[in-house]
């Protein structure tokens, strides 16, 4: 190349390197990430607890729970007769929990426990015999056991 055709940066402006990403695009991506992070932080879901359900009755039971203030029931699980279901994660219902047990098409058997009672029992809920007795008063019959 002859010296007269060589490209040289002008002395009054610095040399520019080609940029594949514009500053505006970087700013938009950073802003989007910040908005997502703030949204995730501000819209946290309900707290949850891990509990074990022990069903020593002869009935398959559907277990639901809610807080003392009412509201809708949250399904916890279905537990078979004589079964223990460990480590079930469910929504934390606060200082007082109301459990509802239903089986054989009968429902409405309720048990109220405080958070302290559940915590003192290491979040193990043993279905009381009174649940089976109340189901039987409503007409439920235990399944036949094979011999």
Contact status, residue 113 vs residue 97, Cβ threshold 8 Å: yes
pLDDT band at 146 (very low <50, low <70, confident <90, very high): low
Question: Which tens digits make up the pLDDT trace of 26-67?
Answer: 889 899 999 888 887 777 778 889 999 999 999 999 999 999
Distance CA 111, CA 124 (A): 14
The residue ranges of every structural domain in the chain are 48-137
pLDDT score of 112 more than 90: yes
Calculate what percentage of the chain has a pLDDT beyond 90: 50
The Cβ of residue 127 has, within 10 Å, a number of other Cβ atoms equal to 21
The Cβ of residue 108 has, within 10 Å, a number of other Cβ atoms equal to 10
More confident residue, 116 or 17: 116
Query: Per the confidence metrics, is the pTM higher than 0.75?
Result: no
pLDDT of residue 88: 87
pLDDT of residue 109: 83
Place of tokens 């695009």: 25
Q: What is the CATH number of domain 48-137?
A: 2.60.40
């Amino acid at each position: 190349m002859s010296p007269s055709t060589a490209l040289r940066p002008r002395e009054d402006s610095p040399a520019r390197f080609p940029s594949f990403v514009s500053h505006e695009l970087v700013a938009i991506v950073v802003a989007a990430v910040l908005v997502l992070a703030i949204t995730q932080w501000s819209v946290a879901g309900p707290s949850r607890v891990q509990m074990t359900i022990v069903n020593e009755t002869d009935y398959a039971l559907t277990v639901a729970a809610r807080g003392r203030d009412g509201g809708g029931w949250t399904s916890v699980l279905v537990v078979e007769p004589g079964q223990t279901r460990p480590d079930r994660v469910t929504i934390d219902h606060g200082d007082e929990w109301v459990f509802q047990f239903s089986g054989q098409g009968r429902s409405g058997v309720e048990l109220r426990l405080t958070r302290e009672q559940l915590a003192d029992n290491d979040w193990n809920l043993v279905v009381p015999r009174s649940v089976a007795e109340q189901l039987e008063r409503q007409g439920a019959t235990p399944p036949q056991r094979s011999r």
